[in-house]
């Protein structure tokens, strides 16, 4: 029996807890193409960085569907809601992202995220109140999940109490981003993901209609009432954008906070420094985005021309996987890349991607994680891991622990 191909090992759950030795293997063949219909896998920092800025690389769901092997992309193409800007190329991408940004950041709303800083502390305190009588808790279910979900609900204007309802639709959608299910989808699964997207869209439609009549201080109101040189979004575009932001606001920050606390518990000297110096959280979060990024892979891009990378010609129409987390530990780019070191002089990373699709929610994710980690360091007395490594979620793209049990002696 021969060993599974390197490509197959990426999605192999056996590599989930520590994929980094596999990524080191991948970097030995920085442009890897093992299966005829399979993607070209790119693993070195500078190549990934260049391709993220290359207009010949398409994010358009239609191109991915045309590549033929992605049944989910085909389903998304024919599904009810139009693709959101993460699955579009310029100029449609630019127009929708600019309009979405009007409600989120500069130049129109430079202070919306900064002004949420004061609201985040009380949310975190409320979560600690729930731990007061405990000596052990699951960081994922009791902190890292409810915190960003509460924040994204508040930002969008989605009632927090509806969370159990929309979680039932979010979960299959997130599962549909798992490359393993994308490579081997079954018909029921495709249908479930499509159905969930429609249901979530219809739920949000109710809220958006209310905001169209009576705007409030929230992002849904800004999305539906946008105006300016780019015009406004159609109702369907508003819903696609809202679905995107709600899901992205759920799944990625959860893993950044959880990976972060796991890393700090494995580096107790850094955790101890953070306890005395909350300002260190800024550098810790940047280094985490390099060392344990919550989005490990960008698996949904296609070439719209022949592209040469390190002497290999990637043909027009081929799919590309960009191995962000492998690039983040590329010794061509970083000194001592396998070391978690928030003091390194040149913390850069592909943790938020790069180029035109660079993470839209990055400023919010940074703020949430800086606050979450510095408060966990400050409040938990003698925190320690109960199980190392913890159990992981199946997904190789949005990688993170399913649970992270932490024992502690009390709250400060």
Partner 1 sequence: MRLVVDLNKCQGYAQCAFLAPDVFAMHGEESLVYNPHAPEEQRERLARAVAACPVQAITADGLDGTGEQGTGSAQEAHDAR
Kindly list the residues in this chain that would bind partner 1 in the complex (CB under 8 A).
98, 105-107, 110-111, 113-114, 277-283, 286, 343, 345-348, 352, 354, 358, 362-363, 366
Task: Report in angstroms how near the CB of residue 50 gets to partner 1 at its nearest.
Answer: 13
Q: Please, which residue, 33 or 273, has the CB nearer to partner 1?
A: 273
* Alpha-carbon dihedral sign for residues 44, 16, 402, 182: positive
Task: Report in angstroms how near the CB of residue 57 gets to partner 1 at its nearest.
Answer: 17
Tokens 């869209």 -> residue:
201
Task: Report in angstroms how near the CB of residue 117 gets to partner 1 at its nearest.
Answer: 10
3-state secondary structure of 401: strand
Q: Please, which residue, 362 or 407, has the CB nearer to partner 1?
A: 362
Q: Which two tokens stand for residue 64?
A: 């991915």
> 132 — alpha (psi -120 to 50), left (phi > 0) or beta?
alpha
Q: Please, which residue, 113 or 261, has the CB nearer to partner 1?
A: 113
Kindly report the backbone phi and psi dihedral angles of residue 221, in degrees, each rounded to the nearest multiple of 5, phi listed first.
Answer: -60, -45
Q: Please, which residue, 38 or 278, has the CB nearer to partner 1?
A: 278
Q: Which two tokens stand for residue 67?
A: 């590549």
Task: Report in angstroms how near the CB of residue 282 gets to partner 1 at its nearest.
Answer: 5
- CA dist 201 → 61, 172, 196, 231 (Å): 18, 14, 8, 22
Task: Report in angstroms how near the CB of residue 330 gets to partner 1 at its nearest.
Answer: 16
One-character DSSP codes across 344-402: -TT---STT--GGGS-TTHHHHHHHHHHHHHHHHHHEES-EESSSSPPB-S-SSB--BS
Task: Report in angstroms how near the CB of residue 346 gets to partner 1 at its nearest.
Answer: 4
Task: Report in angstroms how near the CB of residue 372 gets to partner 1 at its nearest.
Answer: 15
- CA dist 179 → 15, 55, 94, 298 (Å): 14, 23, 26, 10
Q: Please, which residue, 235 or 362, has the CB nearer to partner 1?
A: 362
Mode of pairing for the β-strands spanning 136-138 and 380-381: unpaired
Q: Please, which residue, 285 or 309, has the CB nearer to partner 1?
A: 285
Q: Please, which residue, 61 or 365, has the CB nearer to partner 1?
A: 365
């Amino acid at each position: 029996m021969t060993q599974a191909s390197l490509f197959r090992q990426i999605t192999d759950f056996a590599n989930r807890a520590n994929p980094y030795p596999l990524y080191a293997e991948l970097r030995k063949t920085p442009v890897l193409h093992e299966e005829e219909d399979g993607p070209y896998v790119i693993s070195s920092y500078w190549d990934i960085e260049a391709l993220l800025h290359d207009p010949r690389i398409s994010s358009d769901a239609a191109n991915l569907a045309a590549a033929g092997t992605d049944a989910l992309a085909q389903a998304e193409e024919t599904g009810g809601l139009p693709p959101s800007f993460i699955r579009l190329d310029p100029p449609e991408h630019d127009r929708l992202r600019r309009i979405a940004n009007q409600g989120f950041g500069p130049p129109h709303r430079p202070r919306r995220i900064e002004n949420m800083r004061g609201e985040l502390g009380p949310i975190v305190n409320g979560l600690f109140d729930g731990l007061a009588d405990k000596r052990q808790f699951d960081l994922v279910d009791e902190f890292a999940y409810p915190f960003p979900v509460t924040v994204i609900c508040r930002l969008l204007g989605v009632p927090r109490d509806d969370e159990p309802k929309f979680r039932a639709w979010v979960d299959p959608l997130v599962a549909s981003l798992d490359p393993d299910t994308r490579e081997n989808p079954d018909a029921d699964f495709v249908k479930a993901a499509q159905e969930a997207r429609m249901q979530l869209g219809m739920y949000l439609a109710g809220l958006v209609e209310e905001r169209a009549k009576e705007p409030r201080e929230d992002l849904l109101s800004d999305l539906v009432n946008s105006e300016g040189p780019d015009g406004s979004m159609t109702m369907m575009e508003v819903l696609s954008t809202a679905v995107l932001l709600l899901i992205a606001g759920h799944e990625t920050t959860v893993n950044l906070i959880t990976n972060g606390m796991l890393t700090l518990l494995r580096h107790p000297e850094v955790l101890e420094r953070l306890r005395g110096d909350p300002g260190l959280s800024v550098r810790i979060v940047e280094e985490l985005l390099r060392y344990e990024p919550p989005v490990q892979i960008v698996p949904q891009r296609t070439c719209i021309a022949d592209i040469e990378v390190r002497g290999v010609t990637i043909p027009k129409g081929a799919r590309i996987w960009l191995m962000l987390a492998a690039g983040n530990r590329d010794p061509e780019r970083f000194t001592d890349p396998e070391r978690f070191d928030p003091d390194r002089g040149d913390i850069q990373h592909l943790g938020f991607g790069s180029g035109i699709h660079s993470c839209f929610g990055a400023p919010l994710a940074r703020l949430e994680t800086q606050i979450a980690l510095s408060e966990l360091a400050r409040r938990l007395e003698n925190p320690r891991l109960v199980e190392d490594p913890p159990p992981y979620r199946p997904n190789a793209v949005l990688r993170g622990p399913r649970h992270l049990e932490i024992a502690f002696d009390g709250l400060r």
